[in-house]
Structure 1
Amino acid sequence: MDSAFSDQEKAALSEFRVAIADLIETFDDYEAHNENLIRWLRAKELNVQEAEAMIRHSMKWRDENDFKRFRDLPVSDYYLEKLPFRPSGYDKEGALVIIIPVIKWEMSLLTKSEHHAELTTYIFHIMDKLYHYLKATSTPEKIRTKVVLIIDIEGFSLQELLSKHVIDFFVELLKLYEAHSPERMKAVYVINISSFFSVFWPVIKPFIQTRTLSKVHIVGGGPEYWKPAILTGIDPRELPSEYGGTNSAHPAAYSNDKGETWPARAAVMSPGKFVTAVIPARDKFVTGFDLNVGNRISWNFKTEFYDIGFSFMLNDVPMFPSVRADGHVFVQDGCVDIVEAGTYSLVFDNTYSMFRSKTVHYAIEIEDKVEPEE
């Protein structure tokens, strides 16, 4: 990996390692890897003395806040409901992709002073979870240190954006990130922006360091603009269907029962397994199955020329966000291990189309018993 560093960075790394040798003795191989150490140097423009002061201050801060206690603790279910996030996958260079659905963030309520300590603890906990996602999926050959954020602000109100509590929270969050997770952020995509954002952005922008600011991509317009922007660096298989990807069985948010384990994914099925359905305008096509605990159901589907609404239901209740999937662009897939017996249905929804029928090609596989993964 050293070949990715400039000669100046290699020299600074050598000096930095000597300066913090006592800290490195306490680090594991992941923490002590050059890919992690270089972050502190780049944050300080390769100034070894400033980088040393920064990392020592951060290590002290982590000890004072007892970061180790988070490792085996579940995240607060209350705050996960109020401030959800979605680990999605990895970009083409191995950075962890996180989706923040801001419309679901109850910011005005939670950023008031009486919630401040609990909210700060929640943010610390999430920072620790992201760190362990990266560490758990790293190998000696490929060290993951970066995160890509997709911040979806659709529906976020002007009242929320301009609340003093909300602004103070975002400013504090930025300061925490830049002080204790330097150069962790690879890119930020802000999508589904409204006219309100032009009021909020100038307020918070001065608090963002120039180096971080250069990684922020504000993508105006509808999905036809922001989906291609996201997909330039992220393979569609690493994104939920509603964000231009192919995963139609993506959990709506992080949950403690999933932890650091990615849900199973369906394989790409052979063309001979597909059957065809033509769905008239303003109509749905439903195919259902009675499944038992231990079954695994997998599906692929694609459309001709146009998108299609899609839901996967348990007893008529959606298990994942219902989406308008770009089946005409990428083959969509889904996979669910059944933990509750019931009637499961795949619903192809064309009710939003006033005049146009849709042709769907789909394949479904059901395995009788799936052994739990070790």
Structure 2
Amino acid sequence: MSAGSSSTDMVAENHYPHITELTEHQKDKIAELRSKTKDILATYPEYDTDFSLLRWLMGWDYKIDVIIPKMRYAIETLVNLGMNNHQTTSVEQINKDIKKMSAVAEYFPGGIMGQSRRGDVVYMQAMAKAHPKTLVKAGPTSQLFQLCISETEMSFKIIRKTEEETQRKMGVIIIMDLDGFNMDLLYTPTLKVYMSLLTLLQNIFPDFARRIFIINCPAMMSVVYAMVSPVLSSQTREKVRFLDKDWKNHLIEEIGEENIFMHWGGNKKHEHPCGDIRMGGKVPESLWYNDSHKLEVDRTKISVSARSKTEVKMYGETGKHFHWLWRVSSGDIDFSIEKDGRVVWPVFRCLTEFHPEIGSFKIEETGEYVFIFDNSHGKLFGKDVKYKIIVE
């Protein structure tokens, strides 16, 4: 454990400088990256800070040509989700906002516990409290992606504010509580979605985790980690620490007992021992999808060949909304919306085995919109999509 701690501390020390400790090389690279991405940064001015750009540089070994398309996708996604216009004032507000996003949000464990004494955001995920087999019946894949991306970006709004005050780079401390772990959590369809989510979050938020503490590890932890670790970047894997039975003292030392809810060994005040962290549980049947949606009827079938994509073009008028529902015949498919070659609805890889993709989009600009079903990642087999898109 001590050797792992030493390695993590070294990573943290190198990665979290004060603004006065930036090297000339780092300053030059920040300036170069800012110059080459000024058009996309202009769409989200709040994002344009030295430490935000440094996260990209550190996360991708200062390879600016590699960073630019990834950063473009990330900021486009955040803007498409309205994060550039979202005002975040406190951790408590974030937890409330996430719960308001969906009636199902409460059943996906997680939430922000607060900030450490140092200023890092502390994210708690009691993953073992999830019930995957009912969760997949209660909402589309994209809804989970939107929730998690929004929650992470709201956390970074807090981080950017703290960085501005302290003039020091901050990060996120993630605590994964596996108390109550059971084999249902390895349910193959939902595990695939969770792996896609991890990949997505790492692509949008490079160098986001300062520490990843895993507590209450089950006996088969090595098997579980072996399943998940392939989608973790080497930098993320370096920050993972499996804590022993003395984990409460470890967390108190790292975060401060006044910043930890009572359920996890701290004395942070709240009417509930778990605070306002979402604690999962079975999703009630009243929230399951029941095929009664008005768009289920008269759907159009299209075929999407392997290694290709199919486009559906629709005309939209300012002030109206597109509404859609679709299912893919097998596996998953990438879905997005573009206008004039610009992405206006994020690219998400969606699975519809248990719940159709259902969504809506407010039309900000009159003209032709392109709905894209992309199977480029499918190497051998084509897929059929049955969809219905309306304008109201």
TM-score range, shorter chain: 0.5 to 0.7
- Residue 40 (structure 1) shift: 0.8
Of Structure 1 and Structure 2, which has the larger fraction of its residues in helix?
2
Rounded to whole Å, the distance in 1 between the matches of 2:155 and 2:275 is: 14
Residue aligning to 1:13 = 30
1:125 pairs with 2:150: yes
Please, what TM-score do these two structures have when normalized by structure 1? 0.60
- What are the within-5 Å matches in structure 2 for residues 311-326 of structure 1? none
1:49 pairs with 2:57: no
Q: Deviations over 1:149-188 (max 9, x none)?
A: 111110020232x211232122111111111111111111
Closer, same or farther in 2 for the Cα pair 1:85/1:109, shift >3 Å? same
| Aligned partners of 1:85 and 1:253 also within 8 Å | no
- What are the within-5 Å matches in structure 2 for residues 1-374 of structure 1? 1-28=18-45, 30-67=46-83, 75-76=100-101, 78-111=103-136, 115-135=140-160, 137=162, 139-142=164-167, 145-160=170-185, 162-220=186-244, 222=245, 225-249=246-270, 251=272, 252-254=274-276
Rounded to whole Å, the distance in 2 between the matches of 1:83 and 1:241 is: 21
Rounded to whole Å, the distance in 2 between the matches of 1:38 and 1:185 is: 14
- Residue 247 (structure 1) shift: 1.7
| Aligned partners of 1:111 and 1:119 also within 8 Å | no
Q: State the AA in 2 paired with 1:46.
A: Y
Residue aligning to 1:267 = none
Identity in percent: 17
Equivalent residue of 1:176, what SS? helix
Rounded to whole Å, the distance in 1 between the matches of 2:140 and 2:220 is: 26
Closer, same or farther in 2 for the Cα pair 1:16/1:70, shift >3 Å? closer
- Residue 226 (structure 1) shift: 0.9
Alpha-carbon RMSD across the aligned residues, in angstroms, is 2.8
- Residue 138 (structure 1) shift: 5.2
| Aligned partners of 2:104 and 2:138 also within 8 Å | no
Q: State the AA in 2 paired with 1:60.
A: E
Q: Which stretch has the larger CA shift, 186-195 or 91-100?
A: 91-100
Rounded to whole Å, the distance in 2 between the matches of 1:241 and 1:114 is: 31
Highest Rg: 1 or 2?
1
- Residue 36 (structure 1) shift: 1.1
- Residue 193 (structure 1) shift: 0.8
| Aligned partners of 2:260 and 2:267 also within 8 Å | yes
In the alignment, structure 1 segments of 5+ residues that lack a partner are 257-374
Residue aligning to 1:325 = none
- Residue 64 (structure 1) shift: 4.4
Rounded to whole Å, the distance in 2 between the matches of 1:89 and 1:194 is: 26
Q: State the AA in 2 paired with 1:185.
A: A
RCO comparison, higher one (Cα < 8 Å, 6+): 2
